[in-house]
Structures are given as C-alpha cells and as structure tokens.
A and B are shown apart, each in its own frame.
Chain A
C-alpha cells in the first residue's frame, strides 16, 4: 500500500505502541502488578487500578480474529482492495489490534489464520501490520 496512512497524535500513553517498531518491538501496555494487558493503552490498569503500567514487548504472533476486504477508496490515494483485520495477539490475552494483512492476495486471508507482525514506517510512525505465517 502506498497511500498516506492517518498519523496518530503521539502522547504519553500511545507513544510506545506507535514507535516501538523502530526497534522491532510491538509494545502493548501491561500492568506490572496483575499482569493484565491494557489496550487501548492508558496509565491506569483496567483490571486492578494499579498505576504501575508500562509498555511490554510481545512476540508479535497472533491469529486473525475477523477481517473484511475493503473495496471502497475512502481517500483519493487509497489503493483497493485490501484486507482490514482484527488480530488477536497470542501472548496478550484480551487484546485485539485493527490492522492490515499484507504480502498475500486479499482472498488468501481467513479467520483463525496465524499471522506475524511486520512494521511499515511513515513519517516516524511504525504501523504494526501483519502477514500470514507459512
């Protein structure tokens, strides 16, 4: 995909998620007390209200929870079709990421397919995308 992706406004909660790819890391906020993962990231744990929350690099492995093949060019430079998916992360229970499944034909994606993170950088943001694992 060559289109210009929407650029999130970085803040203290989301910076580790959107920039971790520079070091090859998929960072998900995690509670240092109860071990729960908090996504979207916030400074307070949604399970135990601890404020001991910090980014935690997960493996980047997951499965396709669900997906859709988008055929509508919502912006002029958007090349269609492409796959929008929700990926369930293997080692961050309860966390889903909306993302794209890339490097395969759009009709090769199905629910429960194993996938692995790959990063695409644009203007200092490292977007976590996923590709199918053989």
Chain B
C-alpha cells in the first residue's frame, strides 16, 4: 500500500501586533509546542518546509528561512524546501506531504513566520520595501498606478463580481462578521469581540468595495504543523489527520491578466485528486486576506455555482459554526490575524481532532478543506480523519 501523509503536530507562538519577541524566538516557540503536541523530540525531525523562505522582499514578510531553522535547532535533515515558487503558502505543506509519501523524510516541520507588524516598528533592523524606484516583476505593472496593495488588485475582482453577478456589501460583510464572531471564541485571536453590521457599514473605505474590516492587518506570529509519514505514526501521540489530496493550479501567473483568481482552476482540480466530493466536507477554512477571496473558493470548489457566492453568504447562517458549511471557525485572517495561510491548515486540524473548545463545530467532523492564496497563487488541501 502506498505511503500516506498525516498532520501529526500543531504549534503556534504568541500572536500579536508589534511583538517584542524576535521572529526567530517566535518560530522556536511554535516548534517547541508542535513537537510536544505530536509527542516527538527534535532528533526525530528529518525535514523542514517553509513558505516562502528568504526572498527579495520586505524582511518582515519572511524573516526566517528553512536553513535558519535547521541551524538554530541543530537539525540533521534529509529534505528541506523554501516554497517561494510553490503553488501558494499551503503548497509548502503539500510538498512536505509528497516528500514523506516518497520516503524522503519521516517527520517534517512546516512553518510560516510573519513579522510584518514588528518589522514596521523597527525600520533600522527591517528596512522598508523600496516601492518607488527600479521596480521590477509584477510590481512594475501595478505600483506606478498607486496599486501598491493586494487590496487594490483583489478589489477589482470583487467589483466585477458585483457588476456581473450582483454581489452586495451586505453579503461581503458576512465574511468579516463570521470571522469576528469566531475569533471572539478563540483565545489566540487578535480580535476579541464580535462585529456588527453597523460597525462594518460605517468603517472607512480602503479600496472599493473593501472597507477596513475586509482587509487583514499585519500580525506577528509563527505557525507550525508537523507532517509525518504513515509508517511513522506509532511514534505519534495525537489523532493523525490525513493529507488526502492537494491542488495548486494556475492559468495566468500575472495578477492583472487573469480574468479571475486561481481559486477556480485549483478548486476544480482538487476534486480530480480524490474520491471525496464537496458534499462530504464538514468544514472549510478559506483564505481571507481580503473578504472577497472566500467567495472565489466557494465557487471554485463547487459549493455553489459561479456567481452565487454572495448569495451563499447572505445572512451568514450557512457559514456559521452551526450552519451547513462552517467556515473559518478560528476567526480567519480578519479575526485571528494575518497568519498568512498556515492558520487555515492549523484550524482544520483543530476541528477534525475535536479540540476547538468554545468554537468547536457540532457533530464529529471528518473532512475539511484548507486553502491559501488570492490572485494567481492558490493552494488547497483536503484533510480527513479516516
């Protein structure tokens, strides 16, 4: 029988805005917690995966590379990757699953450390990104026109959805309202209380149709998941959650040349890689750096027809914890914080283990989806307890 891959350990550092602790310290905190959760010791770790790894960018975006962690922890690894060019954030976990399935490693530490808030507070240590001269790559096609932020790029997809399919701000608001309601029950979330429709409608605009509550905010945190091989589960003390399938399809790798985000081809292709169907899914953890993105995942994965995502969200009941498709039960990035993708895999595992506490969804969930990415980047994971 072919080797399977499982998520066997979860760890997370303190989550906050402008934390005093260093990004390396946060990463080690999260690693310690994940190792203890799984019941492993560091000398059993033989692989490391991260997204993205060191790159030419604002240092707070990716302060810790895979080699930083290997050196810091004194690991002896057989496999590692910085997944900067992989499908999207969760592509690092998908690659780790492929590595253990191929027998290249037994227990892989997968981490995402973000330090954008802390870095902005310490410009001498983390120089700001130069956006004004010598811009290259994707940035040269958008930043000269003041479209500095992915908020501007994603907002244009949302505006087209409004014009073509009738998406309303009241429907869009349900993503932030749902995130805040769930975050209020998550002790690790940066948001502590629910949001009302009045709060939402009176918030200042960022980039139409997105108001302040439609956009995630810089957060300092490290999130770790451990991916283990199926034949190493006797070394693990947690309920293993299987990485049953993944996808990460792209049709145009250019933010402003694609008609819609890659959530559509990625969502379609996830179902080609598994016998599970959308109707089997008990909870979804959809990337929501901007509130429009879950609509693309709902439609791309076939939970509703293309153009119907807004009406699926209407009133918020279907995505609530006791609804037919509980979504972003930990608070998503609008409530938990900008954990940048890995928080969705973390929360899917929490729910499948039944460890959600006050935010645990009813029943005995067995199938979850976690996604990451907006625009041309997209990754989806199907996670099962079976």
Contacts and interface: CB of A to CB of B under 8 A. Distances in A.
Nearest to A95: B257
B140 A84 contact: no
B219 to A, nearest CB: 18
A51 B206 CA distance: 42
B254 A40 contact: yes
Given A6-B131, A66-B160, A84-B207, A14 B140 contact: yes
A66 B254 CA distance: 16
Of A70, A96, A125, the most chain B CB neighbours within 10 A belong to A70
A104 interface: no
A67 interface: yes
A79 B328 CA distance: 36
Given A66-B159, A96-B256, A111-B160, A9 B148 contact: no
Contacts of A111: 159-160, 163
A100 interface: yes
Contact of B143 (A6, A65, A96): A6
Contacts of B158: 68
B155 A6 contact: no
Contacts of A50: none
A6 to B, nearest CB: 4
B133 interface: yes
Contact of A98 (B134, B142, B204): B142
B31 to A, nearest CB: 35
B136 A8 contact: yes
Contacts of A6: 131-133, 135, 139-140, 143-144
Contact of A71 (B144, B163, B204): B204
B146 A100 contact: yes
Of B136, B147, B153, the most chain A CB neighbours within 10 A belong to B147
Contacts of A129: 145
A7 B256 contact: no
A70 to B, nearest CB: 5
B156 A86 contact: yes
B157 A98 contact: no
Interface in A1-50: 1, 3-9, 14, 39-40
A5 B205 CA distance: 22
Contacts of B273: none
**Which interface class (under 10, 10 to 19, 20 to 34, 35 or more) fits A?**
35 or more
Interface in A93-134: 94-100, 110-111, 125, 127, 129
B20 to A, nearest CB: 27
Nearest to B255: A98
Contact of A68 (B131, B204, B208): B208
Contacts of A86: 156, 256
B171 interface: no
B257 A84 contact: no
B168 interface: no
A65 B164 CA distance: 11
Nearest to A85: B156
Contacts of B225: none
B378 to A, nearest CB: 19
A76 to B, nearest CB: 11
Contacts of B145: 5, 84, 98-100, 127, 129
Given A1-B146, A7-B144, A72-B151, 12 more contacts: A5-B144, A6-B133, A6-B144, A69-B208, A70-B207, A74-B146, A74-B148, A86-B156, A95-B257, A97-B141, A98-B256, A110-B163
23 contacts: A1-B146, A4-B132, A5-B145, A6-B140, A8-B134, A68-B152, A68-B155, A68-B159, A68-B208, A68-B209, A70-B206, A71-B205, A72-B206, A78-B146, A84-B207, A95-B257, A97-B141, A98-B142, A98-B147, A100-B146, A111-B159, A111-B160, A129-B145
Interface of A: 1, 3-9, 14, 39-40, 65-72, 74-75, 78, 81-82, 84-86, 94-100, 110-111, 125, 127, 129
Interface of B: 131-136, 139-149, 151-153, 155-160, 163, 204-210, 254, 256-257
